[in-house]
Amino acid sequence: MRSHAKPDPSTNFSEAMASQVRQAILDAIVRIGSGDASADRVALTVERSPAAIAPTRLAHSHPGDAAAQEAARRLYESCLVHYRSVVRAQDQVLGVDDVGAAVAAFVAANFAALQGTVVTPGMLLSLEKQLDGITRRSSDWEAAAVVERQAYFEQMALLAVLVAESSAQARAQGAAAVANVQRTARVYLRQLLGMDPDHLALGPNGLAASAAAVSSSTAPD
């Protein structure tokens, strides 16, 4: 699957949903209530919508005429289909979507694009555990309408694919293209996490403060 398009860094996340993920990352980094990383993960799922929600919403936020918005909608829909049929094919038989897995895939795709991180299945699982915990404890998430939970899942899933595909294309196109995708990845991570992604690194235990950030914070004045 090839997107043949760049992700749009002006895309706005659902603030009600994204605020839960920001707190999850902060909790995990400072090791407050982040849970036992060795524990079995209980997936955070939402019932799958019979019709996609996010592709149309995101396309309507694009500048341009109706034709440009329709092209964007088709691209987003194809990315969502790719995520469900390839990236998370195992969820097909369940009829539900795994929210934590989608957010983890999105975060991982952006760190791979921005920092060149080679993401392993174990790293993804650790990241999923970090993100699930705070969302489960969040009253805002529990109170959110199912349609908003589903739209948030779809947005994370399709953008994870779009970023990954755009990054792969950019590597074949040269340094300028790579830099463009990296700028977009930085914007996405800032929007989602509410902090500078250069201070973070994705590793075997999920997200943590980067070695450079730790070194800087412990250096003598």
Count the domains in the chain: 1
Query: How far is 194 from 71, CA to CA, in rounded Å?
Result: 30
Residue 43 included in any domain = yes
pLDDT of residue 105: 94
Q: Enumerate long-range contacts of 60-67, CB under 8 Å, 24 or more apart.
A: 61/10, 61/11, 61/12, 62/8
Residue 1 included in any domain = no
pLDDT of residue 136: 61
Query: How far is 116 from 170, CA to CA, in rounded Å?
Result: 13
**pTM for the full predicted model:** 0.81
Scan for tokens 């999850």, then name that residue: 24
Which among 54, 161, 43 is positioned nearest to 112, based on CA atoms?
Answer: 161
Instruction: Please give the average per-residue pLDDT across 108-117, as a whole number.
Output: 95
pLDDT of residue 185: 95
pLDDT of residue 134: 54
pLDDT of residue 29: 55
Distance of CA 111 to the CA centre of its chain: 10
pLDDT of residue 148: 87
pLDDT of residue 95: 81
Residue 221 included in any domain = no
Confidence band for 108, pLDDT divided at 50, 70 and 90: very high
pLDDT of residue 5: 54
Which among 137, 174, 175, 196 is positioned nearest to 185, based on CA atoms?
Answer: 196
Is the model's pLDDT at 87 over the cut of 60? Answer: yes
Residue 75 included in any domain = yes
Beta bridge partner(s), residue 202: 207
Q: What confidence tens digit (pLDDT) does each residue in 9-59 have? A: 555 555 655 665 565 555 555 543 344 444 555 678 888 888 999 999 999
pLDDT of residue 14: 59
Confidence band for 73, pLDDT divided at 50, 70 and 90: very high
Residue 19, domain extent = 15-211
Q: What confidence tens digit (pLDDT) does each residue in 136-192 have? A: 655 567 777 888 889 989 999 999 999 999 999 999 999 999 999 999 999 999 888
Whether residue 44 contacts residue 133, with contact meaning beta carbons closer than 8 Å, is answered with no
Backbone angles phi, psi at 98, to 5 degrees: -90, 105
Residue 217 included in any domain = no
Residue 38 included in any domain = yes
pLDDT of residue 110: 96
Instruction: Please give the average per-residue pLDDT across 97-108, as a whole number.
Output: 90
Confidence band for 121, pLDDT divided at 50, 70 and 90: very high
Q: Which two tokens stand for residue 96?
A: 């539900």
Residue 181 included in any domain = yes
Residue 69 included in any domain = yes
Helices (H), the chain: 15-30, 54-60, 66-82, 99-115, 121-137, 139-143, 146-173, 175-193, 211-218
Q: What confidence tens digit (pLDDT) does each residue in 186-213 have? A: 999 988 877 889 988 899 988 887 765 4
